[in-house]
Structure 1
Amino acid sequence: MAELTISINSRPFQIMCRDGEEAQVQQLAEDLATRIANIRRDVGSGHRAGDSHLLVLTGLTMCNELRDLRHEIGRVRDEVEKTTAARQDLHARIEELEETVSGALEQAAERVEDLLS
């Protein structure tokens, strides 16, 4: 395990992470710090939001984004399923048409043979 110091809301935190994940954890910490700073800015200077309050607001915002992303993933999955089903139906229809055309060509060839003989 690796020990890492991250800075959130201008405060240092010592955390542990798996070896090799330090850069990723640092990037996540920077993302969180940016989100907190944005919420602090949006709340405005007239409202004194403490660390806990800012973390709760940031957490709620991130949960909302996660919920929206899950909804979008579900919508995309549904669309993929519909597209896959439509593609399968189309392939089945193409096979039917190929059989129909093949049968019609065979009948036409037989008629031509009958006419020529």
Structure 2
Amino acid sequence: MAQVTLSVNGRPYVVGCEDGQEAHLTELAKLFDTQVRQVSQDVGQLAETRLFLMAALLLADELSDLRGRVSGLEADHARLQAEAGSAEGRASAALEAAARRIERLAGA
């Protein structure tokens, strides 16, 4: 197990992680640190626990919004796939009907 030192709000935190995950964890900590610093600027200095809680709640809210958007996009995608399948079926039927008419005309 690897260890990485993360900096949040100017303070170091040593965290264990799976080998190879150090860079990913560092990027996540940078994201959290940015949110913590923004909360601190917006509401002033808070106790560290409250500051971290506010930042975590804002990130959770953003995550919730994004999950909702993804769900909506997945529903749109499924609807468009169904419409495409229906259009393909209609196009296929039209081509078959046209081929039958051509065969009849050629036979006449």
Q: Letter of the aligned partner of 2:64 in structure 1?
A: R
Q: CA deviation at 1:99?
A: 1.0
**Equivalence for 1:89:** 86
Identity of aligned residues (%): 28
Q: CA deviation at 1:72?
A: 0.6
Q: CA deviation at 1:6?
A: 1.2
Higher mean alpha-carbon deviation, 3-12 vs 64-73, is at: 3-12
The C-alpha deviation readout for 1:38-72, integer Å capped at 9, x for no partner, is 1111114xxx3111111111111011111111101
What CA RMSD, in Å, does the superposition of the two structures yield over aligned residues? 1.0
**Equivalence for 1:15:** 15
Alignment of 1:96-107 (within 5 A): 96-107=93-104
TM-score (norm 1): 0.87
Q: Letter of the aligned partner of 1:8 in structure 2?
A: V
Alignment of 1:12-91 (within 5 A): 12-44=12-44, 48-91=45-88
Q: Please identify the structure whose Cα radius of gyration is greater.
A: 1
TM-score (norm 2): 0.94
Q: In structure 2, list runs of 5 or more residues that go unmatched.
A: none
Q: In structure 1, list runs of 5 or more residues that go unmatched.
A: 112-117
- Cα separation, 2, equivalents of 1:3 and 1:81: 43
Look up the SS of the partner of 1:4 in the other structure: strand
- Cα separation, 2, equivalents of 1:106 and 1:6: 75
